[in-house]
Structure 1
Amino acid sequence: MTPDTDQLARWLLDSLQLDTAVLHVGQYCGHWRASTAGRELGSFHLVLGGHCYLHLEGTAPIALGPRDGVFLLRDLPHFLSPHADPLHPVGAQAMAPLHTQADGAATALACGFFQFHGVASRLIVDSFPPYLLIRGGAPAFAAAASLFDLILQEAGGDPEQPSPLITRLVELLFFYLIRHVAQGEQVAGGLLSLLQRPEFSPLLERMLASPAADWSIENMARAACMSRASFCKHFASASGHSPAQFLLLLRMKIAARRLHDGASVERVAELVGYRSHAAFTRAFKRATGEQPGAYRRDQRQRQLSN
């Protein structure tokens, strides 16, 4: 990424709203199997000690060791086990507290769920692969080792009631991973793919600076120095959205951030280019599923409860 593109990516990633819940932290031994699939949520598994394999449909088993982790951005069928063979017999093994004397090899795990909120998820998360891996031995993740160490220090006791601090440490680890991937070449499409394209990044910078401007397809194509037909073709190919769909999502992402910060619905509508309160309300609900007033109240309640 260029410096300008990296700055835009960080600005948008900062708007990503994430709720995390740590399901359990402990260890398995023997012939076990663990999964967080089937909840229609994103999930994660962090290996705090020992070794295991991640089994995903259509993918060869992925070996995981200490300070490795996987974040499944979608609800994918999967399971972890100590065996490379997915058909190896397993038993109903319960998770034991960490530091419990294990009879044989043990694997220490932190597992749980996360859920995205806000318009940014549709623009950003859809840009990423369905799952992301952290490799503890990779130089790029050297700084993440301290987060694994802190999680391990906080773990202990009842595996089903982990320390609340672990949730915050997992969120830090997740955003560290997201930033790493966003700055690399693994992004397949969507917003971050546009940011990596030199013909589109100046346009996005202008759209972010002036979301209320007249961003017709012709004006967007002119800003990108492309013909209308060429612009629509290449923009949709890179982002997965038509220019009009992208403009709607980008404006509503900015609107959501302003509502979160306490601005009135009327003021926010004006800031993102809507002269009609009713038209803005329809657009916001189409993009987020919520009325802007209800969204603003919900955000205020979240701030008060935190």
Structure 2
Amino acid sequence: MPLIPPHAEKIADWLLAGLELKSTLFHVGQYCGSWQASTAGHQQASFHVVLHGECWLHLPAKPGRNAMSVHLTQGDAVFLLHDMPHCLSPLPVAPPAGQESQRAGAMEALSSDESSTQQSLGLACGFFEFRSGLDDQLLGLIPDHIVARHNTAAPDGPRAVFDLIRAEVHRHPDAPSPLIARLTELLFFYALRSVAARDDIAPGLWSLMRRAEFAPLITAIIDTPAERWTTDRMADFVHMSRARFCKQFVEACGQPPAQFVTLVRMKVAAAMLRKGTTTPDAAEQVGYQSESAFAQAFKRVTGEQPGAYRRTRTQEPVASGLAVDEKQAALH
């Protein structure tokens, strides 16, 4: 497994801090024979955890990416960070174009019988909800899907989480444990950190961190958001002309440097507001002399006014993620 670049793990932890994520478990069961499963079409991010067996994840082509078919085995998980066409199937060949999100076959109750598990695929599936518009924008800095492998050389953390998921699954197969959703969130956090070591990462935060000339700049912006990070100053920091800096930054990150600085500042401010910091103090600590300008920027990024954001986050605990869908709607 590639080494995580310097600074990248620190940035991963910074990105994860304060992420307001809630996962909801919808289905635990198994498929046999011919089938095709998908959580597409529900306007939500989603996940699939392979409890036993093996299958293929099929993603159709989109601008900037060719169609993909990814082999998954027991212990692997896939996290789709927004609603996107996809399916899981037992076949290595993708379905015809336009049929990637169709569903076929019926999910059966999970069996602990070894002969049954050898001829079937066990899955735990569900959805993610990101509470803040800030989370959506931050996650826009990383690939739209993450595959977490059970056999990576990374440490035992992800494997231990998967073992806990399987233990919860088999405790009461007919009534899925709400802890599965919480454990899946933890697995997602490990997966998100692992993105830093990928060689095929899309434009975004990690591609910036893999560029030796940009990594110190990103770290400095995060550490000192109140500094006057103009485009000229950032270009000087990396010893580039303004035009070259802007071009290479957009190519690596997918957004202009000024927009990235605003996003970093709003994340830092959101953390302060959650701790009860007043709006004027939060504005000053991320470089805004005008409270109204800060409020406009915060609303634009998060979808909420800073005062309202602070009130709701300090009075109400973040959702625990222990929900299980009561309807058990047939999603597959």
* TM-score normalised according to structure 1 size: 0.87
1:77 aligned to which of 72, 85, 91? 85
> Aligned residue for 1:50?
53
The one-letter code of the counterpart of 1:6 is E
State the distance in 2 between where 1:138 and 1:201 align.
25
Paired letter, 2:137: R
Answering whether residue 67 of structure 2 is matched by residue 64 of structure 1, we say: no
Residues 81-230 of structure 1 aligned to structure 2 (within 5 Å):
81-84=89-92, 86=95, 92-99=105-112, 102=116, 105-118=119-132, 119-123=134-138, 125-140=139-154, 143-156=157-170, 157=172, 161-230=175-244
Instruction: Tell me the residue number matched to 2:326.
Output: none
1:33/1:90 contact within 8 Å kept: yes
Task: Give how far 1:292 is off.
Answer: 0.8
Q: What residue in structure 1 maps to residue 13 of structure 2?
A: 10
After the TM superposition, which of the residue ranges 237-246 and 196-205 deviates more from structure 2? 196-205
Question: Is 2:249 the partner of 1:235?
Answer: yes
Q: Which whole-Å deviations, capped at 9, do the CAs of 1:185-213 have from their partners, x for residues lacking one?
A: 33322222222222222222322232222
SS at match of 1:303: coil
SS in 2 for 1:163: coil
What SS does the corresponding residue of 1:199 show, helix, strand or coil? coil
Moved more, 59-68 or 147-156: 59-68
Shift of the 250–37 alpha-carbon distance from structure 1 to 2, 3 Å rule, reads same
Q: After TM superposition, give the deviation of residue 142 of structure 1 in Å.
A: 5.5
After the TM superposition, list the runs of 4 or more consecutive aligned residues in structure 1 that deviate by more than 4 angstroms: 87-92, 100-104
Q: Does 1:260 align with 2:274?
A: yes
**After the TM superposition, which of the residue ranges 90-99 and 32-41 deviates more from structure 2?**
90-99
- Name whichever of 221-230 and 90-99 sits farther off: 90-99
User: SS where residue 289 of structure 2 aligns?
Assistant: coil
Partner Cα separation in structure 2 for residue 304 and residue 176 of structure 1: 20
In the alignment of these two chains, the number of paired residues is: 304
Q: Distance in 2 between matches of 1:104 and 1:180?
A: 29
- Corresponding residue of 1:284: 298
> For residues 209 and 82 of structure 1, do their structure 2 counterparts lie closer, same or farther at Cα, with a shift above 3 Å needed?
closer
What is the TM-score normalised by the length of structure 2? 0.81
Q: Is the 8 A contact 1:136 1:142 kept in 2?
A: no
Q: Distance in 2 between matches of 1:57 and 1:115?
A: 23
Secondary structure of 1:127's counterpart equals coil
Any conservation in 1 of the 2:52–2:117 contact (CA below 8 Å)?
no
- The correspondence of residues 25-40 of structure 1 with structure 2, limited to 5 A, is 25-40=28-43
* CA drift at 1:113: 0.9
Return closer, same or farther for 1:134/1:141 CA change in 2, 3 Å cut-off.
farther
- What SS is found at the alignment partner of 1:273? coil
Secondary structure at 1:284 match in 2: helix
Q: Distance in 1 between matches of 2:72 and 2:244?
A: 44
Partner amino acid, structure 2, of 1:173 = L
Q: 2:47 is paired with a residue of what secondary structure?
A: strand
Percentage identity across paired residues of the two chains? 45
Distance in 2 between residues matched to 1:97 and 1:294, nearest whole Å: 44
**Residue 87 of structure 2 aligns to which amino acid in structure 1?**
F
Q: Are the structure 2 counterparts of residues 29 and 257 from structure 1 closer, same or farther at C-alpha, using a change threshold of 3 Å?
A: same
Question: 1 CA distance for matches of 2:192 and 2:295?
Answer: 31
Q: Which has the larger helix fraction?
A: 1
Equivalent residue number for residue 325 of structure 2: none
Q: C-alpha distance in 2, partners of 1:294/1:82?
A: 48
Does 1 or 2 have the higher relative contact order (CA < 8 Å, sep 6+)? Answer: 2
Gaps of 5+ in 1: none
Cα RMSD after superposing both structures: 2.8
Instruction: Please tell me whether the aligned partners of residues 80 and 144 of structure 2 are also in contact (alpha carbons under 8 angstroms).
Output: yes
CA contact (8 A) 2:22 2:130 kept: yes
Distance in 1 between residues matched to 2:290 and 2:90, nearest whole Å: 59
Alpha-carbon offset, residue 304 of structure 1: 7.1
Look up the SS of the partner of 1:221 in the other structure. helix
